């Protein structure tokens, strides 16, 4: 490890001390005067000036997607590594677009906020930096779109909420799984009452990342592997909770009130560290460390007496799954291992509907957003198109002054599962209280609007190669 990187990690460690320490759950950041950001319509932006910070795996893909969205101008790019910023700058100009300013180094993002007028700060950095960057972005006058999670402590989550309310700037956590196609279909069906009242839901992030976590290049300086040492809990819950929370109107008619988490021991990472250290000295730093367990199962109860199960396992050799399960009084749906829907009206709900029947439901209940932009999103890409649909929707809402599908309260509540699960596991699976980041506004907040709501005027640029030549898509 070079000295610059070592100094950077020391700074990050100091910055995130509060995130490492388990918070006191009843401590709430005061937000006076309080302004409800749920359903908030910010002033319209004809053109959205976008700055993207963090140009690794996620950030570079975001740069590519934004080059296809008219009305979004990439005005600045930042990464700790200058070569990454230069590479993405060349990609933007190679497609015939205005040359963005570039920043690099440990403090490049702070200088960028001082130098460049930004409407949307798009954050794709390691998790430690999400909270300070989101807060700084809003205070600098920008709306924020931030990769998951928005914070690693309850205190951080409250602070993000407070600043969003005070500045009246959107702070949307970029939970892309809310925009996947089956999730959008079941959200529309839930909204139309097809499943009756949803009484239980399940979500997960089950993804074998063992080899990638120990890869010397994939995660810069093994940052994600180190998080599996720091946090003995569910450290990546938002892919699972986001879509089902929307289906259950969490923060918009109901609210999460308590949580309990249980976890296995580690059966893979410690052994992998010893194995890799025999081949490469760089892994010696991980030998003897206590890694989080393989499977974390977190159970949540809501104010209305409903339950949610969220699981996390990134080390066991098993197929990818986010589960996405909805169980209601009239029907049932699950996405993994195979998409299936059952309704009580068909054989008393004891079997799944046929493919033909599911297709009929798909034709009837596919949301307007998906019908409008779904096929184009698939062409541009990003996890099958859901990333682009998320980005396009965000820009279209900002340009038309529309409420966002995900607000700061969602970002805070979904992220808070991380520290709350850590606390529950540390207390031998004791139940912990879930903060109400809406401060009671959940009782009157309006559910997510699945229509274009007067938007839909944001066009898509033709797909092109890196020399600006249009491609046949």
Domain borders along the chain are 3-174, 178-366+407-443
Residues 6+ apart with CB under 8 A from 353: 340, 341, 342, 343, 346, 361
**What does the pLDDT read at residue 33?**
60
Q: Is the CB of residue 78 less than 8 Å from the CB of residue 52?
A: yes
d(CA 283, CA 275): 9
Average pLDDT score over the chain: 92
**What does the pLDDT read at residue 316?**
97
d(CA 389, CA 385): 6
Residue 223: asked if its preceding bond is cis (omega within 30°), the reply is no
**What does the pLDDT read at residue 34?**
86
**Quick one: which of 146, 165, 312 has its CA closest to 228?**
312
Quick one: 394 exposed, middle or buried, by C-beta within 10 A (0-12, 13-18, 19+)? buried
**Quick one: which of 321, 172, 152, 126 has its CA closest to 240?**
321
**What does the pLDDT read at residue 28?**
41
d(CA 218, CA 456): 37
d(CA 176, CA 434): 24
**What does the pLDDT read at residue 156?**
98
Q: Is 331 helix (H, G, I), strand (E, B) or coil?
A: strand
Q: Is 422 helix (H, G, I), strand (E, B) or coil?
A: helix
Q: What's the CATH fold of domain 3-174?
A: Rossmann fold (3.40.50)
d(CA 414, CA 391): 20
**What does the pLDDT read at residue 464?**
61
Strand (E) or helix (H) holding 65 = helix 57-66
* Tens-place pLDDT, residues 389-414: 999 999 999 999 999 999 999 999 99
Q: Which residues pair with 325 in a beta bridge?
A: 202, 334
Please name the residue ranges forming H helices in 168-222: 181-191, 210-213
- Tell me which residues of the chain have a pLDDT lower than 70: 1-33, 463-473
Crossing angle of helices 408-426 and 238-247, in 10° steps, is 120
The phi, psi pair for 163, rounded to 5°, reads -70, -40
* Tens-place pLDDT, residues 69-128: 999 999 999 999 999 999 999 999 999 999 999 999 999 999 999 999 999 999 999 999
Count of C-beta atoms within a 10 Å radius of residue 46: 7
**What does the pLDDT read at residue 150?**
98
Alpha-carbon distances of 346 from 193, 298, 343, rounded to whole Å: 16, 32, 6
Model's pTM, two decimal places? 0.91
Residue 149: asked if its preceding bond is cis (omega within 30°), the reply is yes
**Architecture of the domain made up of 178-366+407-443:** 2-Layer Sandwich (3.30)
Count of C-beta atoms within a 10 Å radius of residue 300: 25
């Amino acid at each position: 490890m070079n000295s610059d990187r070592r100094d950077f990690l020391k700074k990050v460690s100091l910055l995130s001390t509060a995130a490492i320490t388990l918070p006191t759950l009843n401590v709430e950041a005061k937000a006076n005067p309080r302004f409800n950001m749920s359903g908030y319509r910010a002033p319209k932006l004809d053109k959205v000036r976008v700055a993207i910070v963090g140009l690794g795996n996620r950030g570079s893909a975001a740069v590519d997607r934004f080059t296809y969205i008219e009305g979004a101008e990439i005005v600045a790019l930042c990464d700790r590594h200058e070569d990454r910023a230069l590479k993405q700058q060349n990609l933007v100009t190679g497609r015939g677009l205005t040359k963005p300013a570039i920043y690099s180094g440990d403090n490049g993002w702070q200088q960028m906020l001082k130098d460049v007028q930004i409407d949307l700060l798009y954050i794709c950095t390691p998790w430690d930096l999400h909270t300070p960057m989101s807060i700084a972005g809003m205070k600098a006058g920008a709306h924020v779109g931030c990769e998951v999670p928005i914070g690693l402590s309850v205190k951080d989550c409250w602070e993000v909420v407070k600043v969003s309310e005070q500045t009246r700037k959107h702070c949307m956590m970029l939970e892309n799984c809310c925009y996947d196609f089956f999730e959008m279909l079941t959200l529309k069906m839930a909204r139309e009452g097809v499943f009756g009242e949803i009484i239980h839901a399940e979500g997960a992030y089950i993804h074998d990342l063992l080899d990638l976590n120990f890869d010397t290049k994939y995660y810069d300086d093994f940052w994600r592997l180190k998080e599996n040492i720091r946090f003995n809990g569910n450290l990546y819950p938002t892919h699972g909770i986001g879509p089902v929370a929307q289906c259950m109107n969490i923060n918009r008619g109901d609210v999460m009130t308590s949580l309990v988490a249980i976890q296995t021991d580690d059966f893979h990472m410690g052994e992998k560290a010893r194995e890799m250290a025999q081949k490469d000295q760089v892994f010696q730093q991980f030998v003897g460390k206590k890694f989080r367990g393989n499977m974390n199962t977190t159970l949540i109860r809501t104010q209305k007496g409903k339950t949610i199960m969220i699981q996390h396992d990134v080390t066991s050799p098993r197929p990818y799954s986010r589960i996405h399960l909805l169980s209601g009084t009239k029907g049932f749906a699950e996405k993994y291992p195979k998409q299936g829907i059952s309704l009580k009206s068909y054989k008393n709900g004891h079997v799944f509907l046929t493919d033909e029947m599911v297709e009929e439901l798909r034709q009837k209940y596919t949301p307007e957003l998906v019908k409008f932009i779904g096929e184009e999103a698939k062409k541009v890409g990003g996890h099958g198109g859901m990333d682009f649909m998320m980005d396009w929707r965000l820009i279209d809402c900002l340009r038309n002054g529309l409420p966002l599908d995900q607000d700061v309260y969602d970002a805070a509540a979904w992220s808070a599962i991380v520290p709350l699960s850590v606390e529950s596991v540390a207390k031998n699976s004791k139940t912990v209280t879930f903060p109400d980041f809406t401060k009671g506004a959940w009782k009157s907040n309006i559910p997510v609007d699945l229509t274009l709501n007067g938007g839909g005027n944001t066009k898509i640029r033709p797909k092109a190669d890196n020399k600006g030549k249009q491609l046949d898509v």
